[in-house]
A and B are shown apart, each in its own frame.
Chain A
Amino acid sequence: MGYLDKEFTDSNIIVTNLDALLNWARLSSLWQVGFGLACCAIEMMATSASHYDFDRFGVIPRPSPRQSDIIIISGTVTLKMASRVKRLYEQIPDPKYVISMGSCANCGGPYWDHGYHVLKGVDRVIPVDVYIPGCPPRPEALLEGLLKLQEKIRNESRVG
């Protein structure tokens, strides 16, 4: 009897392809950089707390970018912060993902015209995978953004 047949008789065997296995493993433990910038960071922390429980999706804040998979840009990125954000991003080992959280990180938000000090969108310094609108986005929106990112990872192919 081949493995394909055993899938239905032996519950310990699952037949899948390597891509799906690796993607499933990676998307289920997206460790984020413990990094917050502004008021969006408060919502991000609320999402991490017990009520919304980010951990059920495997998102755990890590103290070092070298142990992380994603970075959530949660707040206004100033021009002074831009080079620091870029450095943090570069310190994350590949494969890495970026969630841009809130209007400020997306496009400058309320500082779009008169904010002399604000970077008009974090995508000017690092590539962004998911943009979450809101000012600040509710924790549900951040969860939705994370699910979108998981969907993206699920459809990737790293083996072939």
Chain B
Amino acid sequence: MADTEFIKSVTDRFTLLLGEEKASQIVITESPFETFLTVPAELISVVMTELYDNPALGFDSLVLLTGNDEDDAVKTKNDDGSETLTGGNLSVVYHLESLPNRKKIIIKTIVPKANPEVPSVTPLWVSADWQEREAYDMYGIIFTGHPNLIRILMPYDWEFGFPLRKDYQNPEFYQGIKVPY
């Protein structure tokens, strides 16, 4: 279950570190499963460095990094019955674990689809390298400062977009091969 007391202590620490105004942008979301912190993308570097470096927190392990399409785009019906999506957000979810302190925390950051830039956490956790490449490959999230941000699963010459986005359209042909069934 969610460790509310611990989450509170973490946010208090960020209030000290960032000041009241910036720290108020960090939102705690309670859910029946796990409580998570939503952090704006511009604060990700500071927040992650603190979580990693501060021995009282000691989040030395990045368990999981995932991309996600928030599915909050505005849907407009076309005449032919199809839908056009405009706007919307992407998000990155970080599951961190502190082995010395036996704590877990989930950090989420939401970025607009128009400019999906999130600072890379690869300098802190090397395990983020391929996971960020996968999030880039599937959702097109740009991790600034990543050492080698190229596609990892899809072919390198895949030019038809990012397949797990809600507005993704599969191409008719790839290298002369018909793609749809």
Contact = CB atoms under 8 A, between A and B. Distances in A.
Contacts of B153: 80, 117
Contacts of A125: 177
Contacts of A82: 175, 177
Give the interface centre of A82, A112, A117 by most chain B CB atoms within 10 Å. A117
B177 A124 contact: yes
A117 B163 contact: yes
A119 B177 contact: yes
A79 interface: yes
Interface string A123-154: 01100000000000000000000000000000
Contacts, number: 29
A120 B155 contact: no
A154 B68 CA distance: 55
Given A116-B163, A117-B154, A79 B181 contact: no
Interface in B155-179: 155, 163, 168, 170, 174-175, 177-179
A79 B177 contact: yes
Chain B, interface SS category: loop
Nearest to A124: B177
A116 B137 CA distance: 13
A113 interface: yes
A64 interface: no
Interface string A97-120: 000000000011000110011011
Contact of B155 (A79, A108, A113, A124): A79
Contact of A120 (B154, B163, B181): B181
B81 interface: no
Interface of B: 153-155, 163, 168, 170, 174-175, 177-181
Given A80-B154, A83-B175, A124-B178, 19 more contacts: A79-B174, A79-B175, A79-B177, A79-B179, A80-B153, A82-B175, A107-B181, A112-B181, A113-B181, A116-B163, A116-B168, A116-B170, A117-B154, A119-B177, A120-B178, A120-B179, A120-B181, A124-B177, A125-B177
